[in-house]
Chain A
Amino acid sequence: MPEEQYHRLQQRDTSEVKELWDLLDEVKDPEIPALSIWDLGILRDIERQGEHIIVTITPTYSGCPAMDTITEDVKAALNAKGYESIEVKMQLSPAWSSEWMSLEGRRKLRNYGVAPPEDAADSEDGLTPDAHTLCPHCGSRDTRLISEFGSTACKALFQCQACKETFDYFKKI
Protein backbone atom coordinates (compact mmCIF):
# COMPACT_ATOMS: atom_id res chain seq x y z
CA MET A 1 0.00 0.00 0.00
CA PRO A 2 1.39 3.45 -0.91
CA GLU A 3 2.40 5.52 2.10
CA GLU A 4 -0.14 8.27 1.37
CA GLN A 5 -2.90 5.66 1.38
CA TYR A 6 -1.77 4.24 4.66
CA HIS A 7 -1.81 7.65 6.33
CA ARG A 8 -5.27 8.45 5.04
CA LEU A 9 -6.66 5.14 6.27
CA GLN A 10 -5.00 5.62 9.65
CA GLN A 11 -6.51 9.09 9.92
CA ARG A 12 -9.96 7.72 9.16
CA ASP A 13 -9.69 4.67 11.42
CA THR A 14 -8.46 6.63 14.42
CA SER A 15 -10.92 9.50 13.97
CA GLU A 16 -13.27 10.25 16.86
CA VAL A 17 -16.06 10.79 14.35
CA LYS A 18 -15.64 7.62 12.32
CA GLU A 19 -19.39 7.51 11.66
CA LEU A 20 -19.19 10.85 9.84
CA TRP A 21 -16.50 9.59 7.49
CA ASP A 22 -18.79 6.64 6.73
CA LEU A 23 -21.70 8.97 6.21
CA LEU A 24 -19.80 11.15 3.75
CA ASP A 25 -18.99 8.10 1.62
CA GLU A 26 -22.31 8.83 -0.03
CA VAL A 27 -21.09 12.17 -1.37
CA LYS A 28 -19.88 11.56 -4.91
CA ASP A 29 -17.79 13.64 -7.24
CA PRO A 30 -20.37 15.21 -9.61
CA GLU A 31 -18.00 14.80 -12.58
CA ILE A 32 -17.15 11.15 -11.80
CA PRO A 33 -20.18 9.85 -9.89
CA ALA A 34 -18.59 6.40 -9.48
CA LEU A 35 -16.19 7.87 -6.93
CA SER A 36 -16.88 9.34 -3.52
CA ILE A 37 -15.01 12.39 -2.26
CA TRP A 38 -13.16 10.01 0.07
CA ASP A 39 -12.09 7.81 -2.88
CA LEU A 40 -10.72 10.83 -4.73
CA GLY A 41 -8.84 12.22 -1.74
CA ILE A 42 -10.83 15.47 -1.85
CA LEU A 43 -12.08 14.86 1.71
CA ARG A 44 -9.22 15.87 3.99
CA ASP A 45 -10.59 16.00 7.51
CA ILE A 46 -13.69 15.93 9.68
CA GLU A 47 -13.78 17.50 13.14
CA ARG A 48 -16.52 17.82 15.68
CA GLN A 49 -16.62 20.67 18.18
CA GLY A 50 -19.69 20.07 20.32
CA GLU A 51 -22.60 20.30 17.90
CA HIS A 52 -20.48 21.99 15.26
CA ILE A 53 -18.98 19.94 12.44
CA ILE A 54 -16.06 21.14 10.33
CA VAL A 55 -15.40 19.31 7.08
CA THR A 56 -12.18 20.12 5.21
CA ILE A 57 -11.97 19.53 1.47
CA THR A 58 -9.35 20.37 -1.14
CA PRO A 59 -9.77 20.99 -4.89
CA THR A 60 -8.12 18.63 -7.39
CA TYR A 61 -7.27 21.45 -9.83
CA SER A 62 -7.34 25.23 -9.21
CA GLY A 63 -10.38 25.76 -11.38
CA CYS A 64 -12.28 22.61 -10.44
CA PRO A 65 -15.91 23.67 -10.98
CA ALA A 66 -17.22 20.81 -8.83
CA MET A 67 -16.17 22.29 -5.47
CA ASP A 68 -19.32 24.37 -4.94
CA THR A 69 -21.55 21.38 -5.67
CA ILE A 70 -19.47 19.17 -3.39
CA THR A 71 -19.75 21.73 -0.58
CA GLU A 72 -23.54 21.76 -0.97
CA ASP A 73 -23.69 17.95 -1.14
CA VAL A 74 -21.62 17.56 2.04
CA LYS A 75 -23.98 19.89 3.89
CA ALA A 76 -27.05 18.12 2.52
CA ALA A 77 -25.74 14.66 3.49
CA LEU A 78 -25.08 15.81 7.06
CA ASN A 79 -28.35 17.76 7.31
CA ALA A 80 -30.25 14.64 6.28
CA LYS A 81 -28.86 12.85 9.34
CA GLY A 82 -29.81 15.69 11.67
CA TYR A 83 -26.53 17.60 11.84
CA GLU A 84 -27.30 21.27 11.53
CA SER A 85 -24.22 23.32 12.28
CA ILE A 86 -21.81 22.55 9.47
CA GLU A 87 -18.85 24.39 8.09
CA VAL A 88 -17.07 23.25 4.92
CA LYS A 89 -13.53 24.59 4.73
CA MET A 90 -11.45 24.72 1.57
CA GLN A 91 -7.82 23.92 2.17
CA LEU A 92 -5.21 24.52 -0.55
CA SER A 93 -2.12 23.17 1.13
CA PRO A 94 -0.81 20.53 0.77
CA ALA A 95 -1.81 20.56 -2.90
CA TRP A 96 -3.99 17.62 -3.93
CA SER A 97 -2.17 14.66 -5.41
CA SER A 98 -3.53 11.77 -7.47
CA GLU A 99 -1.58 9.58 -5.00
CA TRP A 100 -4.35 10.24 -2.52
CA MET A 101 -6.92 8.28 -4.45
CA SER A 102 -8.03 5.19 -2.51
CA LEU A 103 -7.29 1.65 -3.75
CA GLU A 104 -11.01 0.99 -3.88
CA GLY A 105 -11.42 4.23 -5.85
CA ARG A 106 -8.87 3.06 -8.41
CA ARG A 107 -10.79 -0.17 -8.94
CA LYS A 108 -14.09 1.69 -9.26
CA LEU A 109 -12.52 4.10 -11.73
CA ARG A 110 -11.32 1.25 -13.94
CA ASN A 111 -14.76 -0.42 -13.84
CA TYR A 112 -16.28 2.94 -14.76
CA GLY A 113 -14.15 3.01 -17.92
CA VAL A 114 -11.48 5.47 -16.78
CA ALA A 115 -7.86 4.34 -16.52
CA PRO A 116 -6.41 5.20 -13.08
CA PRO A 117 -2.99 6.93 -12.86
CA GLU A 118 -1.01 3.73 -12.21
CA ASP A 119 -2.27 2.13 -15.43
CA ALA A 120 -0.09 4.46 -17.48
CA ALA A 121 3.35 3.47 -18.70
CA ASP A 122 6.20 5.35 -17.02
CA SER A 123 7.24 8.59 -18.68
CA GLU A 124 10.50 10.48 -18.30
CA ASP A 125 8.98 13.71 -17.05
CA GLY A 126 6.29 12.07 -14.87
CA LEU A 127 3.53 13.59 -17.03
CA THR A 128 1.12 11.71 -19.29
CA PRO A 129 2.92 9.20 -21.57
CA ASP A 130 2.14 9.18 -25.32
CA ALA A 131 1.14 5.51 -25.42
CA HIS A 132 0.69 2.17 -23.63
CA THR A 133 -1.81 3.18 -20.97
CA LEU A 134 -3.82 0.07 -20.07
CA CYS A 135 -7.22 0.14 -21.79
CA PRO A 136 -9.94 -0.13 -19.09
CA HIS A 137 -12.29 -1.80 -21.59
CA CYS A 138 -10.20 -4.66 -23.01
CA GLY A 139 -6.94 -4.57 -21.04
CA SER A 140 -4.70 -3.97 -24.05
CA ARG A 141 -1.60 -1.78 -23.79
CA ASP A 142 -1.74 -1.00 -27.50
CA THR A 143 -3.10 2.50 -26.91
CA ARG A 144 -2.14 6.05 -27.80
CA LEU A 145 -2.68 9.53 -26.39
CA ILE A 146 -5.20 11.59 -28.37
CA SER A 147 -5.23 14.65 -26.16
CA GLU A 148 -3.41 15.73 -23.03
CA PHE A 149 -6.60 17.39 -21.83
CA GLY A 150 -9.87 15.50 -21.55
CA SER A 151 -13.46 16.11 -20.55
CA THR A 152 -12.36 17.47 -17.16
CA ALA A 153 -9.08 19.00 -15.95
CA CYS A 154 -8.06 15.77 -14.22
CA LYS A 155 -8.24 13.57 -17.32
CA ALA A 156 -6.47 12.95 -20.65
CA LEU A 157 -7.94 11.20 -23.67
CA PHE A 158 -6.60 7.92 -25.12
CA GLN A 159 -7.62 5.54 -27.86
CA CYS A 160 -7.16 1.76 -27.78
CA GLN A 161 -5.86 0.27 -31.04
CA ALA A 162 -7.06 -3.21 -30.06
CA CYS A 163 -10.75 -2.58 -29.30
CA LYS A 164 -10.83 0.88 -30.98
CA GLU A 165 -12.62 2.46 -28.03
CA THR A 166 -11.55 5.85 -26.71
CA PHE A 167 -11.16 6.21 -22.97
CA ASP A 168 -10.29 8.76 -20.32
CA TYR A 169 -7.11 8.46 -18.31
CA PHE A 170 -6.94 10.02 -14.85
CA LYS A 171 -3.74 12.06 -14.90
CA LYS A 172 -0.92 11.88 -12.41
CA ILE A 173 -0.51 15.18 -10.65
Chain B
Amino acid sequence: MSDTIKDATLEYAVRLGDDANVLGHRISEWVSRGPFLEEDIAYANVALDYIGRARMFYGYAAELANDGRTEDDFAYMRDDRQYQNLLLMELPREDFAYSQVRQLFIDIYYGLMLPELVKSKDDTLAAIAAKAIKETRYHLRRSRDWVLRLGDGTEESHRRTQRAVDSLWGYTHEMFEMDDTEQRLADSGIGVDITKLRDEWHRQVSAILAEATLNLPEDGWAVRGGRIGYHTENLGHLLTEMQFVHRSYPGCQW
Protein backbone atom coordinates (compact mmCIF):
# COMPACT_ATOMS: atom_id res chain seq x y z
CA MET B 1 0.00 0.00 0.00
CA SER B 2 1.47 3.39 -0.96
CA ASP B 3 1.71 6.00 1.80
CA THR B 4 -0.88 8.31 0.25
CA ILE B 5 -3.37 5.49 -0.10
CA LYS B 6 -2.59 4.26 3.38
CA ASP B 7 -3.17 7.71 4.90
CA ALA B 8 -6.39 8.08 2.95
CA THR B 9 -7.59 4.63 4.05
CA LEU B 10 -6.82 5.49 7.66
CA GLU B 11 -8.85 8.68 7.38
CA TYR B 12 -11.69 6.82 5.70
CA ALA B 13 -11.75 4.20 8.45
CA VAL B 14 -11.87 6.97 11.07
CA ARG B 15 -14.78 8.67 9.27
CA LEU B 16 -16.76 5.46 9.03
CA GLY B 17 -15.90 4.75 12.67
CA ASP B 18 -17.05 8.25 13.68
CA ASP B 19 -20.36 7.81 11.86
CA ALA B 20 -20.97 4.52 13.64
CA ASN B 21 -19.76 5.69 17.05
CA VAL B 22 -21.76 8.92 17.17
CA LEU B 23 -24.94 7.31 15.86
CA GLY B 24 -24.52 4.31 18.16
CA HIS B 25 -24.17 6.60 21.18
CA ARG B 26 -27.13 8.71 20.10
CA ILE B 27 -29.35 5.68 19.65
CA SER B 28 -28.27 4.24 23.00
CA GLU B 29 -29.90 7.26 24.66
CA TRP B 30 -33.23 5.59 23.96
CA VAL B 31 -32.44 2.86 26.46
CA SER B 32 -34.87 3.34 29.37
CA ARG B 33 -36.74 6.00 27.37
CA GLY B 34 -38.39 3.85 24.68
CA PRO B 35 -42.18 3.95 24.27
CA PHE B 36 -42.34 0.36 25.56
CA LEU B 37 -39.92 -2.31 26.72
CA GLU B 38 -39.47 -4.10 23.39
CA GLU B 39 -38.51 -0.87 21.66
CA ASP B 40 -36.05 -0.12 24.44
CA ILE B 41 -34.42 -3.46 23.74
CA ALA B 42 -34.57 -3.00 19.99
CA TYR B 43 -32.75 0.32 20.24
CA ALA B 44 -30.17 -1.21 22.56
CA ASN B 45 -29.52 -3.92 19.97
CA VAL B 46 -29.18 -1.50 17.07
CA ALA B 47 -26.92 0.77 19.13
CA LEU B 48 -24.72 -2.18 19.98
CA ASP B 49 -24.37 -3.13 16.31
CA TYR B 50 -23.16 0.40 15.56
CA ILE B 51 -20.77 0.53 18.50
CA GLY B 52 -19.41 -2.82 17.31
CA ARG B 53 -18.83 -1.36 13.85
CA ALA B 54 -17.13 1.66 15.37
CA ARG B 55 -14.75 -0.64 17.25
CA MET B 56 -13.89 -2.53 14.07
CA PHE B 57 -13.27 0.64 12.04
CA TYR B 58 -11.26 2.32 14.82
CA GLY B 59 -9.34 -0.89 15.43
CA TYR B 60 -8.36 -0.94 11.78
CA ALA B 61 -7.45 2.76 11.85
CA ALA B 62 -5.19 2.07 14.84
CA GLU B 63 -3.55 -0.80 12.97
CA LEU B 64 -2.88 1.42 9.95
CA ALA B 65 -1.62 4.30 12.10
CA ASN B 66 0.75 1.93 13.89
CA ASP B 67 1.82 4.64 16.32
CA GLY B 68 0.65 3.15 19.61
CA ARG B 69 -2.88 4.53 19.45
CA THR B 70 -5.74 2.11 20.14
CA GLU B 71 -9.43 2.14 19.25
CA ASP B 72 -10.07 3.92 22.56
CA ASP B 73 -7.82 6.82 21.59
CA PHE B 74 -9.88 7.38 18.47
CA ALA B 75 -13.17 7.22 20.37
CA TYR B 76 -12.31 9.05 23.57
CA MET B 77 -9.31 11.27 23.03
CA ARG B 78 -10.43 13.39 20.10
CA ASP B 79 -12.46 16.60 20.34
CA ASP B 80 -15.40 17.66 18.22
CA ARG B 81 -13.26 19.46 15.65
CA GLN B 82 -11.38 16.21 15.04
CA TYR B 83 -14.52 14.11 14.65
CA GLN B 84 -15.50 13.67 11.00
CA ASN B 85 -18.95 12.11 11.23
CA LEU B 86 -21.89 13.20 9.10
CA LEU B 87 -24.01 15.82 10.86
CA LEU B 88 -27.08 13.61 10.52
CA MET B 89 -25.58 11.17 13.03
CA GLU B 90 -25.14 13.72 15.83
CA LEU B 91 -28.52 15.44 15.75
CA PRO B 92 -30.41 14.98 19.03
CA ARG B 93 -32.80 12.06 19.37
CA GLU B 94 -35.88 14.35 19.64
CA ASP B 95 -39.12 12.32 19.59
CA PHE B 96 -39.58 8.70 18.51
CA ALA B 97 -40.75 9.66 15.00
CA TYR B 98 -37.69 11.83 14.48
CA SER B 99 -35.30 9.04 15.53
CA GLN B 100 -37.06 6.50 13.32
CA VAL B 101 -37.08 8.75 10.25
CA ARG B 102 -33.37 9.42 10.71
CA GLN B 103 -32.83 5.69 11.12
CA LEU B 104 -34.74 4.97 7.92
CA PHE B 105 -32.62 7.47 5.96
CA ILE B 106 -29.46 5.92 7.38
CA ASP B 107 -30.56 2.29 6.99
CA ILE B 108 -31.38 2.80 3.31
CA TYR B 109 -28.03 4.57 2.91
CA TYR B 110 -26.09 1.67 4.43
CA GLY B 111 -28.27 -0.82 2.58
CA LEU B 112 -26.79 0.65 -0.62
CA MET B 113 -23.32 1.61 0.60
CA LEU B 114 -22.27 -1.60 2.37
CA PRO B 115 -22.79 -3.94 -0.63
CA GLU B 116 -20.39 -1.63 -2.51
CA LEU B 117 -17.86 -1.57 0.32
CA VAL B 118 -17.87 -5.38 0.34
CA LYS B 119 -16.25 -5.18 -3.11
CA SER B 120 -13.40 -3.04 -1.72
CA LYS B 121 -9.87 -4.06 -2.61
CA ASP B 122 -9.10 -3.49 1.07
CA ASP B 123 -9.84 -6.85 2.72
CA THR B 124 -10.51 -5.46 6.20
CA LEU B 125 -12.99 -2.83 5.06
CA ALA B 126 -14.70 -5.49 2.94
CA ALA B 127 -14.91 -7.88 5.90
CA ILE B 128 -16.39 -5.25 8.23
CA ALA B 129 -18.95 -4.35 5.56
CA ALA B 130 -19.90 -8.01 5.04
CA LYS B 131 -20.77 -8.35 8.72
CA ALA B 132 -22.64 -5.07 8.86
CA ILE B 133 -24.84 -5.77 5.82
CA LYS B 134 -26.64 -8.60 7.56
CA GLU B 135 -27.42 -6.40 10.57
CA THR B 136 -28.58 -3.48 8.46
CA ARG B 137 -31.23 -5.65 6.79
CA TYR B 138 -32.83 -6.13 10.21
CA HIS B 139 -32.48 -2.46 11.12
CA LEU B 140 -34.10 -1.37 7.87
CA ARG B 141 -37.07 -3.62 8.30
CA ARG B 142 -37.76 -2.07 11.68
CA SER B 143 -37.30 1.59 10.71
CA ARG B 144 -39.36 1.09 7.54
CA ASP B 145 -42.21 -0.53 9.50
CA TRP B 146 -42.21 2.27 12.05
CA VAL B 147 -42.20 5.08 9.50
CA LEU B 148 -45.12 3.42 7.70
CA ARG B 149 -47.00 2.97 10.95
CA LEU B 150 -46.37 6.47 12.24
CA GLY B 151 -46.81 8.28 8.92
CA ASP B 152 -50.01 6.46 8.08
CA GLY B 153 -51.16 6.42 11.71
CA THR B 154 -53.00 8.94 13.85
CA GLU B 155 -53.20 12.63 13.10
CA GLU B 156 -50.58 13.34 15.72
CA SER B 157 -48.14 10.62 14.64
CA HIS B 158 -48.50 11.76 11.02
CA ARG B 159 -47.83 15.38 11.95
CA ARG B 160 -44.75 14.48 13.99
CA THR B 161 -43.35 12.17 11.34
CA GLN B 162 -43.80 14.76 8.59
CA ARG B 163 -42.09 17.32 10.81
CA ALA B 164 -39.18 14.90 11.28
CA VAL B 165 -38.86 14.34 7.53
CA ASP B 166 -38.89 18.09 6.88
CA SER B 167 -36.32 18.90 9.57
CA LEU B 168 -33.94 16.08 8.64
CA TRP B 169 -34.06 16.43 4.87
CA GLY B 170 -31.47 19.20 4.63
CA TYR B 171 -28.93 16.97 6.42
CA THR B 172 -29.23 14.10 3.96
CA HIS B 173 -27.36 15.78 1.09
CA GLU B 174 -24.06 15.56 2.95
CA MET B 175 -24.27 11.75 2.85
CA PHE B 176 -23.62 11.79 -0.89
CA GLU B 177 -20.74 14.25 -1.05
CA MET B 178 -17.12 13.23 -1.46
CA ASP B 179 -13.87 15.14 -0.99
CA ASP B 180 -10.51 14.44 -2.68
CA THR B 181 -9.59 11.78 -0.13
CA GLU B 182 -12.72 9.77 -0.75
CA GLN B 183 -12.51 10.32 -4.50
CA ARG B 184 -8.97 8.97 -4.55
CA LEU B 185 -10.03 5.89 -2.59
CA ALA B 186 -13.02 5.32 -4.86
CA ASP B 187 -10.73 5.61 -7.91
CA SER B 188 -8.40 3.01 -6.36
CA GLY B 189 -11.24 0.57 -5.72
CA ILE B 190 -10.92 0.90 -1.93
CA GLY B 191 -13.68 3.35 -1.07
CA VAL B 192 -17.26 3.62 -2.30
CA ASP B 193 -18.25 6.19 -4.93
CA ILE B 194 -21.14 7.38 -2.82
CA THR B 195 -22.38 9.95 -5.36
CA LYS B 196 -23.56 7.09 -7.59
CA LEU B 197 -25.93 5.79 -4.92
CA ARG B 198 -27.93 8.96 -4.48
CA ASP B 199 -30.60 8.33 -7.12
CA GLU B 200 -31.39 4.87 -5.82
CA TRP B 201 -31.49 6.18 -2.23
CA HIS B 202 -33.89 8.89 -3.33
CA ARG B 203 -36.04 6.36 -5.16
CA GLN B 204 -36.32 4.03 -2.14
CA VAL B 205 -36.97 6.85 0.33
CA SER B 206 -39.63 8.39 -1.93
CA ALA B 207 -41.44 5.07 -2.27
CA ILE B 208 -41.62 4.52 1.50
CA LEU B 209 -42.65 8.11 2.25
CA ALA B 210 -45.40 7.88 -0.38
CA GLU B 211 -46.67 4.65 1.15
CA ALA B 212 -46.60 6.30 4.57
CA THR B 213 -48.70 9.20 3.17
CA LEU B 214 -45.81 11.61 3.84
CA ASN B 215 -44.67 14.40 1.55
CA LEU B 216 -41.20 14.46 0.09
CA PRO B 217 -39.65 17.84 0.99
CA GLU B 218 -38.32 20.27 -1.60
CA ASP B 219 -34.53 20.44 -1.86
CA GLY B 220 -34.47 23.97 -0.46
CA TRP B 221 -31.56 23.89 1.95
CA ALA B 222 -28.54 21.78 2.80
CA VAL B 223 -26.18 21.70 5.76
CA ARG B 224 -22.70 20.25 5.56
CA GLY B 225 -19.39 20.32 7.38
CA GLY B 226 -19.16 17.15 9.46
CA ARG B 227 -16.45 15.61 7.28
CA ILE B 228 -14.16 18.60 7.90
CA GLY B 229 -14.91 18.89 11.60
CA TYR B 230 -17.52 21.68 11.50
CA HIS B 231 -20.29 20.32 13.66
CA THR B 232 -23.56 21.38 15.19
CA GLU B 233 -23.50 22.23 18.90
CA ASN B 234 -24.95 18.78 19.62
CA LEU B 235 -21.73 16.86 19.06
CA GLY B 236 -19.83 18.61 21.83
CA HIS B 237 -22.48 17.70 24.37
CA LEU B 238 -22.57 14.11 23.14
CA LEU B 239 -18.79 13.74 23.38
CA THR B 240 -18.73 15.29 26.84
CA GLU B 241 -21.00 12.56 28.09
CA MET B 242 -19.34 9.77 26.11
CA GLN B 243 -15.74 10.69 26.97
CA PHE B 244 -16.11 11.81 30.56
CA VAL B 245 -15.19 8.58 32.36
CA HIS B 246 -12.30 7.74 30.09
CA ARG B 247 -10.76 11.19 30.43
CA SER B 248 -11.38 11.59 34.14
CA TYR B 249 -9.86 8.23 35.02
CA PRO B 250 -7.07 7.68 32.50
CA GLY B 251 -6.13 4.02 32.08
CA CYS B 252 -9.02 2.86 34.25
CA GLN B 253 -9.86 -0.84 33.81
CA TRP B 254 -12.66 -3.01 35.13
Q: Which residues of A contact B (CB under 8 A)?
A: 59, 61-65, 92-96, 125, 127-128, 146-153, 157, 171, 173
B141–A127 contact, CB under 8 A?
A: yes
The contact of A149 among B41, B55, B56, B132, by CB within 8 Å, is B41
If the complex has contacts A62-B56, A62-B135, A64-B52, are A153 and B45 also in contact, measured as CB distance less than 8 A?
yes
Collect the chain B residues with CB atoms within 8 Å of residue A95's CB: 127, 130-131, 133-134
Q: How far does the alpha carbon of A128 sit from the alpha carbon of B48 in the complex, in Å?
A: 19
Q: How far does the alpha carbon of A148 sit from the alpha carbon of B141 in the complex, in Å?
A: 9
A93–B48 contact, CB under 8 A?
A: no
A63 to chain B, nearest CB (A): 3
Q: How far does the alpha carbon of A135 sit from the alpha carbon of B49 in the complex, in Å?
A: 27
B138–A148 contact, CB under 8 A?
A: yes
Collect the chain B residues with CB atoms within 8 Å of residue A125's CB: 137, 141
B142 within 8 A of A: yes
B38–A146 contact, CB under 8 A?
A: yes
A32 to chain B, nearest CB (A): 15
The contact of B123 among A61, A93, A127, A147, by CB within 8 Å, is A93
If the complex has contacts A64-B52, A148-B142, are A93 and B134 also in contact, measured as CB distance less than 8 A?
no
Q: How far does the alpha carbon of A56 sit from the alpha carbon of B50 in the complex, in Å?
A: 23
The contact of B42 among A127, A149, A171, by CB within 8 Å, is A149
If the complex has contacts A95-B131, A146-B38, A149-B42, are A63 and B50 also in contact, measured as CB distance less than 8 A?
yes
Can you list 27 residue pairs at the A/B interface with Cβ under 8 Å? A61-B52, A62-B53, A62-B55, A62-B128, A63-B24, A63-B51, A63-B52, A64-B52, A65-B48, A92-B127, A92-B128, A92-B131, A93-B123, A95-B130, A95-B133, A125-B137, A127-B138, A147-B38, A147-B39, A148-B141, A148-B142, A152-B45, A153-B45, A153-B48, A153-B49, A157-B38, A173-B138
| Nearest neighbor of B20 in chain A, beta-carbon distance | A62
If the complex has contacts A125-B141, A157-B38, are A59 and B52 also in contact, measured as CB distance less than 8 A?
yes
Q: How far does the alpha carbon of A20 sit from the alpha carbon of B117 in the complex, in Å?
A: 36
Collect the chain A residues with CB atoms within 8 Å of residue B41's CB: 147, 149-151, 157
Collect the chain A residues with CB atoms within 8 Å of residue B124's CB: 92
| Nearest neighbor of B48 in chain A, beta-carbon distance | A63
A-side binding surface: helix, strand, loop or mixed?
loop
Collect the chain B residues with CB atoms within 8 Å of residue A92's CB: 56, 124, 127-128, 130-131
If the complex has contacts A127-B137, A127-B141, A149-B42, are A94 and B52 also in contact, measured as CB distance less than 8 A?
no
A84 to chain B, nearest CB (A): 23
Q: How far does the alpha carbon of A59 sit from the alpha carbon of B55 in the complex, in Å?
A: 12
B130–A173 contact, CB under 8 A?
A: no
Within 48-71 of B, Cβ neighbours of A (below 8 Å) are at: 48-53, 55-56
The contact of A93 among B50, B126, B132, by CB within 8 Å, is B126
B238 within 8 A of A: no
Collect the chain A residues with CB atoms within 8 Å of residue B48's CB: 61-63, 65, 153
Q: How far does the alpha carbon of A151 sit from the alpha carbon of B40 in the complex, in Å?
A: 11
A163 to chain B, nearest CB (A): 20
Which of B52, B123, B126 has most chain A Cβ within 10 Å? B52
B10 within 8 A of A: no
| Nearest neighbor of A94 in chain B, beta-carbon distance | B130
B53–A63 contact, CB under 8 A?
A: yes
Collect the chain A residues with CB atoms within 8 Å of residue B242's CB: none
A149–B45 contact, CB under 8 A?
A: yes
Q: How far does the alpha carbon of A91 sit from the alpha carbon of B74 in the complex, in Å?
A: 21
B46 within 8 A of A: yes
Within 73-115 of B, Cβ neighbours of A (below 8 Å) are at: none
If the complex has contacts A62-B49, A173-B134, are A148 and B42 also in contact, measured as CB distance less than 8 A?
yes
Q: How far does the alpha carbon of A55 sit from the alpha carbon of B93 in the complex, in Å?
A: 41
Collect the chain A residues with CB atoms within 8 Å of residue B38's CB: 146-147, 149, 157
Q: Kindly list the 7 A-B residue pairs having the minimum CB-CB distance in the complex, ordered from nearest.
A: A63-B52, A62-B52, A93-B127, A63-B48, A147-B38, A149-B42, A92-B127
